[in-house]
A and B are shown apart, each in its own frame.
Chain A
Amino acid sequence: MTKDSTPKSGYSRRDALRLMAAGGIACFAAPNLLGKPAFADTANPTGRVVVGLSQEPTVFHPLMAHIEVDDAVHFSLFDALFRMDPKGVLQPNLAAEVPTQQNGGISEDGLKWRVRLRDDVRWHDGEPFTAEDVKFTLELITNPNFRAWRTGGHSLVRDITVVSPTELTWRMEEAFAPYLSFLTETFMVPKHILEKEADPNAAAFNQAPVGTGAFKWAQRVAGDHLELVANPQYFGDGPYVERLVFKYIPDMTVLYTQFKSGDIDLTDQAYITADHYEEAKTLPGRVVTLVSGASVESIYLNLEKPQFKDPAVRKALYAAMDRKAIIDAIYYGVGTLTETFMPRTSYYYNPNLPAQEFNLDRARQILDEAGWVPGPDGIRAKDGVRLSFANSTTSGNNLREQVQQFLQQTFAEIGVEMTISNLPAAVMFGEFWLKSQFDSAIAGVTHLIAADPDATNRLATSAIAAKGGKGSNVGQYSNPEVDALLKKGAQTFDPEARREIYSRIQEIVREDLPFLPLFASTYVVGRKEGLEGWEPNSNTRTASWHAAGWRWQS
């Protein structure tokens, strides 16, 4: 049975607000009842789920620098104060309610925060979870000796005060609305274990973590798999399976083969490749689902290169991209057309942007009008600048390489020369990418952090690392209006007001075309028939974001 559960974007603003309010009220009224399972449900978790991953999870301290694949483990072992549900709505997790300006959890100026916690949570070793743990966690992140993953947002937190074991307050250096979302990916760690460690980077905890999550650490066979066992004392819903195994299978074809042969029950990152989708759908006893991802596959243009400074060139290139053919012919129909960096599943997605139209004549006309004249070799030039550039992507990714060859041919038809220069991923995403050393590059890029619409790190002028900035605006895009809107958006807490701001940003970016979107990423997730409770959530980076709810059909 094949089920397409691609989330739809028709999730209204009113629905979101209603859900946020309902969640908050329900939790405030009865914190211990929310998500509390019926005893019989989880008294006897049974069975085992083997999740296939194409990279090996190696970082188990959830606050240390890590990559996406480690999230699968963190989400099962730990809890954050809040959780981002599949609809992009914040739900309380360790917190009893989501603080808002309406419920008084966040002051009107956005600077004073108060968080109330559940009173029924225990660490895996039986110790109670309290506000002291939250304070310890937030302070550890900004400890200069600690190899923290990210300090953005956390570095604004001041004067953390523990009011009671279930309540704490802090002050923000400046109003920063995305912090609520950041906290959904900030997993709490136990103070009573980590405060004894002289070096938090080398703590024994890092190899045998203790959390509050639905699963407890069991064992790791390095280079092969790691095993978690059910936490019967879990405060939330579940767990229903006794063992959760994350199996590392480095080769994508082998990963698919093992899914086919039944060795793995669910494919998490990097999922099933698009070229196997058609066959995977027909496999007996398997359910294959297309899931929208948060990243957008795009051609990134280095706007400091003279060829790309002219907006006409960017517009012409965009018009010369037969995106539909790329999705259908190269990506086997897996992928969705998009005009923006915002995921289609986001509450802040702007559906009213002008649709790109593949039209080579139009592309030629734009270039003609802008004064780009074909030279003797057929390649256009203007003011001594040839319309020629290199395109780079990760070598070994055969689908991306086919896209390059396809584009190379169509661009040549409008008098544009594109050469191909690929690099291994470990090289490409180093300084070459971060310090904008490329002409143009194809990559699947996520703009959002934990589903918050703030894209400052990717779009703000202050985020251009090549010019000494702090973020990862690798295309070196700079637009004062976008800068101002981003600043305003980060300081606005009202979702409705934010929606307007980010819709406008999307409009401007669509007009400026600092990067050329190819398609919104779509993952092919396969699972064994009978594995229930699995739900896609493009607001997290892992398909295993809620393993607590998985169960085998009896």
Chain B
Amino acid sequence: MRGFLLNRLSQSLVLLLIVSVIGFVVLNLIPGGPLAQFGLDPSMTQDDLNRLKEQLGLNRPLWMQYLDWAWRLVQGDWGHSFRDGAPVLDVIGRHLVATLLLMGSSTVIAIAIGTWIGIRGATHRYSVFDYLATVGAMVALSIPTFWFGLVGIYVFSLRLGWLPAGNMYTIGDGSALNYLHHLIMPSIVLALVHVAIWSRYMRTATLDVISQEFVKTARAKGLSERRILMKHVVGNALLPMITLAGMQLPSVLTGALVTETVFTWPGMGRLFLDSLGYSDYPVVMGLLMFSAILVVLCNLIADIVVAIIDPRIRLS
């Protein structure tokens, strides 16, 4: 176990190093840069722009900028945003809560409904339900999220007036009920795609388990279908789902760009888009490293959990 962990950790560090170098170089190769936002301002002279460039340390060679950034990162200093001067970790932290709320609720909805649809589809293969679930999943996966979002806003906000058109809460009303009211539409819209993904994976995994010998044995022993499903099938079918959850967990923390924009949700996805638009290098690099670390960590955790649950897998 220890050897496995050390091995995985060292691999992860190399991976993070590669990600950081590629990210840094690519970001700095994009023409424009953080001062492009002043391009149309007649009051800023070339001298002013050069002075700002120097003050931000952008006139140094790229390798020097990278080493400086990486050295600070190792020491826990993720730098300061070019836009508002706040520490990068603070900037990420401010948006993390909003993202956790939205992505957390949509993930819970997606897992609960998606798992149920998947199992029912597998156990009632080629039934009307199964066909409907398949078609529904295809539709949800094919239509862009922003379309669902805009239709939802049109129907439920502008026409019926049941749900708010966007925002995380009504300014001036910070009650939990108000947050919940605002959470309904974006989390359902966002969950649609994930329900489709989960149901398809779960259906396949369940079918896989149903055809296994031990299920036939259980059936031969005369156990009820319900008991076989609950005790033998679901538990085993959920195992590959842990890996899937491990892969999806980083996205729960890094946000959903489109949904957050349509519903004016101040989360991580929108932060990424905004920071990229302003070439706010420290924040973009911070977000990149944050999600890279999450991917590495979540995969590691998923592997460990699967190994613990499934004795067939040995960590060594």
Contacts and interface: CB of A to CB of B under 8 A. Distances in A.
A associates with B = yes
A424 B30 CA distance: 11
B165 A263 contact: yes
B264 A428 contact: no
B186 to A, nearest CB: 12
A470 B45 contact: yes
B42 A147 contact: no
A222 B165 contact: no
B98 A223 contact: yes
B158 A223 contact: no
A249 interface: yes
Interface in A383-424: 424
B84 interface: yes
A430 B33 contact: yes
B42 A458 contact: yes
A257 B44 contact: no
A149 B279 contact: no
Contacts of A206: 84-85
A353 interface: no
A247 B172 CA distance: 13
B27 to A, nearest CB: 12
A298 to B, nearest CB: 12
A250 B171 contact: no
Given A206-B85, A223-B270, A457 B45 contact: yes
Interface residues of B, number: 57
Interface residues of A, number: 71
B35 A430 contact: yes
Interface string A210-240: 0000000000011111010000000000000
A427 B32 contact: yes
Given A222-B266, A254-B166, A429 B40 contact: yes
A150 interface: yes
Contact of B91 (A222, A250, A445): A222
A446 interface: yes
A223 B271 contact: yes
Contacts of B55: 145, 147, 201
B47 A470 contact: yes
Interface string A453-487: 00101100001010001111000000000000000
Nearest to B44: A150
B224 to A, nearest CB: 52
Given A152-B43, A227-B171, A425 B36 contact: yes
A65 interface: yes
A132 interface: no
Interface in B160-210: 164-168, 171-172
Interface in B99-140: none
A457 B172 CA distance: 44
Nearest to B276: A426
A258 B56 CA distance: 37
B256 interface: no
Contacts of B165: 254, 257-258, 261, 263
B82 to A, nearest CB: 9
Nearest to B268: A223
Contacts of A444: 40
A25 interface: no
A281 interface: no
Contact of A427 (B30, B35, B40, B262): B30
A360 B38 CA distance: 37
A359 interface: no
B85 A428 contact: no
A10 to B, nearest CB: 26
Given A59-B83, A223-B270, A245-B171, A251 B44 contact: no
A207 interface: yes
A50 interface: yes
A433 interface: yes
Contact of B266 (A65, A224, A432, A463): A224
A449 B52 CA distance: 20
Interface in B9-68: 30-33, 35-49, 51-52, 55-56
A457 B35 CA distance: 17
A469 B49 CA distance: 12
A15 interface: no
B38 A67 contact: yes
A455 to B, nearest CB: 8
B46 A202 contact: no
B48 A152 contact: yes
B48 A430 contact: no
B95 A426 contact: no
Nearest to A61: B85
Contacts of B273: 250
B144 interface: no
Contacts of A447: 42
A539 B59 CA distance: 35
Contacts of A455: 42
A56 interface: yes
A434 B48 CA distance: 13
Contact of A250 (B94, B158, B261): B261
A111 interface: no
Contacts of A430: 31-33, 35-36, 39
Contacts of B52: 65, 147
Given A67-B38, A223-B270, A201 B47 contact: no
Of the listed residues B39, B41, B42, B86, the one surrounded by the most CB atoms of chain A closer than 10 A to its CB is B42
Contacts of B264: 224, 247-251, 254, 258
B32 A457 contact: no
Contacts of A150: 43-45, 48
Contact of A65 (B38, B46, B150): B38
A207 B94 CA distance: 14
A60 B83 CA distance: 10
B69 interface: no
Contacts of A257: 153, 157-158, 165-166
Contact of A202 (B43, B85, B261, B277): B85
Contacts of A148: 48, 51
A450 B55 CA distance: 26
Contacts of A428: 32, 36, 39
Nearest to A221: B266
A431 interface: yes
A305 interface: no
B267 interface: yes
Q: Most chain-A CB neighbours within 10 Å: which of B30, B46, B51?
A: B46
A428 B35 CA distance: 11
28 contacts: A59-B84, A67-B38, A144-B51, A147-B56, A150-B43, A151-B45, A207-B85, A222-B86, A222-B266, A223-B95, A223-B274, A224-B167, A225-B171, A249-B166, A251-B262, A253-B150, A258-B165, A258-B264, A263-B164, A426-B276, A432-B31, A434-B46, A434-B49, A449-B42, A449-B43, A470-B45, A471-B45, A472-B44
Shortest Cβ-Cβ A-B pairs, 10 listed: A429-B39, A223-B266, A430-B32, A430-B36, A58-B84, A224-B266, A427-B32, A222-B94, A261-B165, A465-B46
Interface of A: 48, 50, 56, 58-60, 65, 67-68, 144-145, 147-152, 182, 185, 201-202, 206-207, 221-225, 227, 243, 245, 247-251, 253-254, 257-258, 260-261, 263, 424-434, 443-450, 455, 457-458, 463, 465, 469-472
Given A261-B164, A429-B36, 12 more contacts: A58-B83, A67-B41, A144-B51, A148-B51, A151-B48, A201-B55, A222-B84, A223-B271, A426-B279, A430-B32, A430-B36, A472-B41
